Amino acid sequence: MSAEAADPAAVPRRRSRPRIDLRRLGRVALLGPVPRDRLSDAIGHVADAHRAHHPDADLTILHRAYVLAESSHRGQMRKSGEPYITHPLAVTLILAELGAETTTLTASLLHDTVEDTEVTLDQVREQFGEEVCYLVDGVTKLEKVDYGAAAEPETFRKMLVATGNDVRVMSIKLADRLHNMRTLTVMRPEKQARIAKVTRDVLIPLAERLGVQALKTELEDLVFAILNPEEYEDTRALIAAVTDESDPLAPIADCVRATLREAGISAEVLIRPRHFVSVHRVRRKRGELRPTDFGRLLVLVGEDADCYAVLGELHTCFTPVISEFKDFIAAPKFNLYQSLHTAVVGPEGAVAEVLIRTHRMHKVAEAGVVALGNPYAPDLTAAQQAEPSDERADPTRPGWLSRLLDWQESATDPDTFWTTLRADLAQDREITVFGTDGRTLGLPAGASCVDAAYAQHGERAHTCIGARVNGRLATLSTVLSDGDTVQLLLAQDTASGPSPEWLDHARTPAARIAITGWLSAHPDAPGPESEGPAEPAADGPQPTAPARTRSGGRAANVVVDGPESPTRLAGCCTPVPPDEVVGIVVRGGAVTVHRQECPAVARMREIGRPPVAARWREEEDGGRDTAACRVTLVAESFGRPRLLADLTEAIATADAAIVSATVEPPSEQRVRHTYTLQLPDAAGLPALMRAMRDVAGVYDVSRAQHPAATG
């Protein structure tokens, strides 16, 4: 089935076998009440389509599945009035034309039997085996999901869970939705619109992610017709107006064929009509459509090297439009898509877009993961078979789906899941980065070191303090590029956690959900920034109230003048005994204790908001409390190899734990390190600072004085 044909009948036929017009056969299968012997013709069409891709396929299991499906659905009718068996037949025909293997087609024929008939999963397992049972069960779970608008967040979480680790479940669901969309006109207009919106928002992006362009493009056209009827009619009229005219791409295609023939390159050159939505997008992009904008040239060759040979000939013999060139062979898309894209100026100045790919690439471009066959077939490598597991390791599953399945378990809030799912599906490009051990990580374009940390280490990434990118120290906010080598640096203090700023740099759902979860579970953990002050407390004398603040899980005691309220040490200046301190009343009535010289205190005085008095609480023996504390230090140094390692070793030797750290990019060979550290005793701070100053290359260590908001 063509991924781009506005009219499938207009697509040139492949020489290797006659093309099957899915829509025509869909109509054959949907001819209303007919004798039972006519229905067997439909399974014959399925068998023909299947054999075209798999000549040696055993069709016995398909015939047995059809017999069970037909007998179990006998007497059931669709809302359109056709016998119900026409639906699983049409769904199976769609998948057969895409090249799905026998197991998938068998499950497709049976995909509604367990839900809508007396057939049980045990019967399916007994008659057709564990694989078919697994797929039928997965699709059945999807069918039980309520697609109501209010249920959407939980709906699609269940979809991913039901899909499990087998993309064939989702392939059957997409084919099922395509056939339902083809016959949606029997529904009320409001229900048509609701189903179309769900299809547009999630199912079409999922089809794109799975690389099943043949399903995705027809779904787009059907949704377009329902949700944008006027624009659809305008586009249909434009396409109809050029259908009766001579195709302006034909002479360019002839020139390309001649050029490649003279160069000795064996290639098939086809004209690919654009589908409705594609024409609509080009029209919106360019305003005025060129005569050649209604299609593209497709050049199919045998080997990868031939693709570049074709490209060289085209760019040599025609004038190329350089801005249109894209190489998706060297850098495949996230959905397995590979092709060379270019545009050339043909005779009389006509511009033609050209797609260049191998026959294998074309099959994957059309059918995506469906074209990759059964990943659980008995011919798996011995190593794979030797490692049985409850998890189904699918070698065809794209990395994005693995990540979705992982982070959906952590997104306990349905609204968070829904928002994150749609944001993740909106990503249209992936990058690959490498660990120092050679391990690869697939990340969305724009991902940072924060994303890489959570992708590689999971919740251990909470303790990440920095990274090396291509051998150089980098901040966690550094945006990664395709091919970068990343080494994540983790602190030994497993109790430390991320700061709220990490959310500004996190692009992946896994990172954002993990960071948000940690911050929610540790609301009192001091961060690197202070909070803006609130309105001053009510006038009049207030009693002095000792308040016990928490710092890194251990207590430090201060006394503030005011009503008893939550009190904590400021993250901007991280005061420790014996610092002179004052309190600032912040939003919600809490008190944040700052060092006297903190810039936040000065700003409070400037705007007429006097701070409240605060002091360290004296112990009964007369000594000042020197319990565990958290402090932020800034180390200024000259850049040199192993500097970070030597600094962290000095910190560890002083019995301090690193909570978080940032390393700014070098400037004139100078490097600025900022560490938030956990000390077992505030009295050890001077010795710690001396030890850090003694590290070769470090010329200054000072207490941090971060700016604080004044709110």
Q: How far apart are CA 560 and CA 615, in angstroms?
A: 7
Q: Is the pLDDT of residue 94 over 80?
A: yes
pLDDT at 152 > cutoff 70: no
DSSP per-residue string spanning 644-685: HHHHHHHHHHTT-EEEEEEEPPPBTTEEEEEEEEEES-GGGH
Residues shown for the chain = 711
Structure confidence at residue 493 (pLDDT): 64
**Greater pLDDT, 545 or 238:** 238
pLDDT value at 504 more than 90: no
Compute the average pLDDT of residues 558-573: 73
Instruction: State the average pLDDT over residues 637-642.
Output: 79
Asked if pLDDT for residue 19 goes beyond 70, the answer is no
Q: Lowest-pLDDT range, 70-84, 136-150, 605-619?
A: 136-150
Is residue 179 over pLDDT 90?
yes
pLDDT of 426 higher than 90: no
Q: Measured between alpha carbons, how far is residue 151 from residues 146, 162, 266, 328 in Å?
A: 7, 16, 53, 38
pLDDT over 60 (residue 164): no
Residue 261: the pLDDT is 94
Q: Would you state the pLDDT for residue 575?
A: 83
Say yes or no to pLDDT of 452 above 50.
Answer: yes
Residue 222 CB neighbour total at 10 angstroms? 24
**Which whole number is the average pLDDT over 466-487?**
86
Name the most confidently modeled range: 25-29, 440-444, 447-451. Answer: 447-451
pLDDT tens digits for range 244-301: 677 889 999 999 999 999 999 999 999 999 999 999 988 888 778 888 889 999 999 9
**Mean pLDDT highest for which of 144-158, 414-428, 463-477?**
463-477
Q: Write out the catalytic residue numbers.
A: 115-116
Distance CA 624, CA 692 (A): 26
Question: What is the arithmetic mean of pLDDT over 628-645?
Answer: 81
What whole-number distance in Å separates Cα of residue 498 and Cα of residue 277? 44
pLDDT at 32: 37
175 pLDDT band, cuts 50/70/90, is: very high
Give percent of the chain with pLDDT exceeding 70.
72
Mean pLDDT across 575-580: 81
Mean pLDDT of the chain: 76
Check residues 24 and 445 and name the one with the higher pLDDT: 445
614-636 pLDDT tens trace: 888 765 444 444 456 778 888 88
- The predicted structure's pLDDT at residue 343: 93
Residues 6+ apart with CB under 8 A from 509: 403, 404, 407, 411, 420, 421, 423, 424
Residue 192 predicted with pLDDT over 80: yes
Return the minimum-mean-pLDDT range out of 115-129, 205-219, 288-302, 525-539.
Answer: 525-539
Looking at residues 182-197, what average pLDDT do you find?
89
| 158 or 596, which is more confident | 596
pLDDT digits (tens, 9 = 90+) for 131-140: 899 888 888 7
pLDDT confidence tier of residue 307, bands split at 50, 70 and 90: very high
With bands split at pLDDT 50, 70 and 90, how would you rate the model's confidence at 567?
Answer: confident
Mean pLDDT throughout 415-425?
Answer: 63
Quote the pTM value. 0.60
pLDDT given for residue 557 in this prediction? 67
Give me the pLDDT at residue 419, please: 63
Return the higher-pLDDT residue of 605 and 55.
55
Residue 430, phi-psi category: left (phi > 0), alpha (psi -120 to 50), beta (remainder): beta
Across the range 299-322, mean pLDDT stands at 92
Is the bond preceding residue 611 a cis peptide, omega within 30 degrees?
no
Query: For 561-579, what is the mean pLDDT?
Result: 74
CA 352/CA 271 separation, integer angstroms: 10
The CA-atom distances, in angstroms, between 499 and each of 512, 524, 633 are 12, 12, 16
Average pLDDT over residues 703-707: 64
Distance separating alpha carbons of residues 125 and 143, to the nearest angstrom: 19
Phi, psi of 412 (to 5 degrees): -70, -25
Give the Cα separation of 419 and 329 in Å (integer). Answer: 32
Q: What is the pLDDT of residue 527?
A: 42
Q: How confident is the model at residue 466 (pLDDT cuts 50, 70, 90)?
A: confident
The predicted pLDDT at position 265 comes to 94
Mean pLDDT of 380-401: 41
